[in-house]
Amino acid sequence: MPIAKLIILDRDGVVNYDSDQFVKSPEEWKPIPGSLEAIARLNQAGFKVVIATNQSGVGRGLFDMAMLNAIHDKMHKALAQVGARIDACFFCPHAADSDCNCRKPKPGMFQEIGARFNTSLTGVPCIGDGLRDLKAAAEVGGQPILVLTGKGEKTRSEGGLPENTLIFGDLNEAVKYVIGVRG
């Protein structure tokens, strides 16, 4: 039985600014303007909001699980200040060269989300700034949505996007569309 309203968001480059050196501490986690308020609007429209993020910095030894939890704690507190919340945070801690099934573009993390929420991901909006986000979404039948923040402009210019990928300037614009269609 599918949940009527579920949305999956990538973290770095969608909710907060990305860094080529990884977001390794709470001090380095900075929200993209409008992203927290966009999540609040999703909550108000009845959406379950789930983060699905590759965090290979853990597997590379750049930061540990306690630091990742501290970063997510800062994110949750910042969201609470604008009346928003994330319902679940899924992450792959493995290094990029690991042969795990949970690291996007592989579908394992998304399949786990579907299992935990006891729902099909067919048509579920999946918002990311990288091709790996969009490919994982397409693999499980989700609706791939590219935002041009983070690595989004580069992702769009390199092409190869899954069929039916929607493109928006940022999370705020994407959320207006999603709420308009499914709200």
Active-site annotation, residues: 10, 12
Helix (H, G, I), strand (E, B) or coil at 60: coil
Which amino acid is residue 182, in one-letter code?
A: R
Contact criterion met (CB below 8 Å) for 50 and 90: yes
- Other C-beta atoms within 10 Å of 25: how many? 12
Strand partners, 164: none
Q: Where are the alpha helices (DSSP H) in the chain?
A: 35-44, 56-59, 65-81, 108-116, 131-139, 152-158, 171-182
